[in-house]
Amino acid sequence: MSKNYSIEIIDGIIVTRFSKIHSFSDCVSAIQDVAKIDNHGRRLWNLSCGLDLEDTSSATAQELAEISENAFPGLGKTAQVAPEDFTFGMAREHNFYRGKENCETEVFRTEQEALVWLNK
């Protein structure tokens, strides 16, 4: 199975960019790959291509949040880029469930806004 995302480290930030609309399983795969190299630092998830989720309920956002919490249990700062309304809303819902004190999370419309926030 080919991956439809890339992961690179830019100025100490782990940047994950999806190259096409991605599914729940794509998200889980990317989380697992990033967790292998994460140093509990700064992460940027560019979701600009949008999501294709079979189930758009709160349960999906909650399940992704639990997977994220298990993958990244330590301190961290995560920015999500979602210019499209549906993806923006799902990212915000994910962050609501993710809401751990040791991990700051925010959703932005542009990657530039996200990078400014991550570098504060």
Q: Range of 99's domain?
A: 5-118
Q: H or E stretch including 4?
A: none
What are the tens digits of pLDDT across the range 7-44?
A: 999 999 999 999 999 888 899 999 999 999 986 689 99
Q: How far apart are CA 18 and CA 7, in angstroms?
A: 9
In sequence order, which ranges of the chain are alpha helices (DSSP H)? Answer: 24-37, 58-71, 85-98, 111-118
CATH number assigned to the domain comprising residue 96: 3.30.750
pLDDT of residue 49: 93
Q: Is the pLDDT of residue 74 over 80?
A: no
Q: Is the pLDDT of residue 101 over 70?
A: no
Instruction: With beta carbons less than 8 A apart as the criterion, state whether 90 and 59 touch.
Output: no
Instruction: With beta carbons less than 8 A apart as the criterion, state whether 50 and 91 touch.
Output: no
To the question of pTM greater than 0.85 for the whole model, the response is yes
Strands 76-81, 42-46: pairing is parallel
Confidence tier at 90 by pLDDT (50, 70, 90): confident
Domains contained in the chain, number: 1
